[in-house]
Amino acid sequence: MVSPLVLSVDAMGGDFAPESVVDGAAIFFKGRRRPVRLLLHGDEARIRPLLARHPELAGRCEIRHTEKIVTMEAKPSEAVRRSRGSSMWNAVHAVKDGEAQVAISAGNTGALMAISKVILRMKAGVHRPAIAASWPVPQGFCTVLDVGANVDCDPEQLVEFAVLGESFHRAVHGVQRPSVALLNVGQEELKGDQVVRDADALLREAELDMDYRGFVEGNDISLGTTDVVVTDGFTGNVALKTAEGTARLVGGWVREALTGSLLGKAAGALLSLGALKQLRARMDPNNVNGGVFLGLNGVVVKSHGGTQGPGFATALRIALEMADSRFLTEIEKNLARLDAAERSRTTRAQETE
């Protein structure tokens, strides 16, 4: 008998937890035959009645009781000092202890990143972890990072993100040689601030055996111009939230056009139900909810704080995909290549002195 894969969940993290977590679990398990088990960390008195509404979750979820939570307002440094024994802390610690393969939380992003760094530690050669998001494009997905972990980055960190993002995309999306680019305000070499231009120079000089394409602009993300787009956490987060808001706006317009009048309803009736469902699914931000922390000695998935059941189900699905991937192995291989390239560059610089 195959042992079930275990996902460790902060059941109290997020604006609508624990209801959103339990509802998401029910959606996640619907029709899923693969043996998967969830560890739900949180207040048993609140979680147990919610599980009772979903008999299909019996035997698939184990509650790990704690009344301690990390609030959405907590500062990262405060969260690390005061969060031991909280639902978020325990969810991540289960990965370190080997009880689970992936941790998932919709809680405070800064606190989750700080706690994950303390518990799991960063991989050798990584100065700051990044959050990677899978962005839907005409053909598959584009990996965008960082989307919120690091507001300010230096050129060396952007190079690290390129290395992490390339290995993530290869492992998760199956592209053997992903193309990589830096997000900028233009494609010309002189465009952008000094940090982006210096990162571009480093990537061109490094011997990384990477398909680096230079600069891309914001519209190139959704067009799928490259497989991986690298930027700082401030820009990446703004871009991500803008895209999600636009998807909801256009989705609302489509519903209004098809239901707002008799003519619209008649037009909608002429379209196949399958096509309408496919369109709604592709435009629904819930179907791409879940960013992955890259650069840690373990896997952590961050769900949007405002997500409800369908969105959290997607975060669980992404966690399962991460557990099945060669992600951590790919990260280590790419970091070794980056280290070798840096040592080679240092040697050449010393020889020219």
List the structure tokens of 256.
């209004």
Provide CATH code, domain 1-126+295-326. Answer: 3.40.718.10
DSSP labels, 88-141:
HHHHHHHHHTTS-SEEEE-S-HHHHHHHHHHHH-BPTT-SS-EEEEEEE-SSSE
> How would residue 344 be classed by pLDDT, with cut points 50, 70 and 90?
confident
Distance CA 63, CA 109 (A): 23
List the structure tokens of 140.
């598959």
Q: Are 105 and 312 in contact (CB under 8 A)?
A: no
128-290 and 1-126+295-326 share a CATH fold: yes
Q: Per mean pLDDT, which range of 47-56, 189-198, 271-280, 310-319 is the poorest?
A: 271-280
Q: What is the pLDDT of residue 32?
A: 87
User: Which residues partner with 134 through β-bridges?
Assistant: 143
Q: Which tens digit of pLDDT belongs to each residue from 194-223?
A: 999 999 998 988 777 889 999 999 999 989
Higher pLDDT, 190 or 178: 178
Query: What is the mean predicted confidence (pLDDT) over 136-150?
Result: 87
In this structure, what are the phi and psi dihedrals at residue 179, rounded to the nearest 5 degrees?
Answer: -85, 145
Provide CATH code, domain 128-290. Answer: 3.40.718.10
**What ranges do the domains of the chain cover?**
1-126+295-326, 128-290
Q: Which tens digit of pLDDT belongs to each residue from 78-124?
A: 888 889 999 999 999 999 999 999 999 999 999 999 999 999 999 88
